[in-house]
Amino acid sequence: MRKYGLSIELLQELLHQQAGRCAIGLKRWQDCTKAKRTHDDAIFLQYLYVDHAHQTGKVRGLLCNACNMAIGLLEEDRDRLLSALSYLDKRDGP
Q: Does 32 map to a domain?
A: yes
Task: Report how far residue 78's alpha carbon sits from residue 51's, in angstroms, rounded to the nearest whole number.
Answer: 15
pLDDT along the chain (94 residues), means of 10: 79 96 96 75 81 88 94 94 92 67
Give the pLDDT of residue 1: 54
Q: Does 61 map to a domain?
A: yes
CATH number at residue 78: 3.40.1800.10
The secondary structure of the chain as a DSSP string is -TTT---HHHHHHHHHHTTTB-TTT--BGGGSPP----SSTTSGGGTEEEEE-TTT--EEEEEEHHHHHHHHHTTT-HHHHHHHHHHHHH----
Q: Does 77 map to a domain?
A: yes
Residue 17 domain boundaries: 8-90
pTM above 0.95, yes or no: no
Q: Does 12 map to a domain?
A: yes
| Number of domains comprising the chain | 1
Q: Does 17 map to a domain?
A: yes
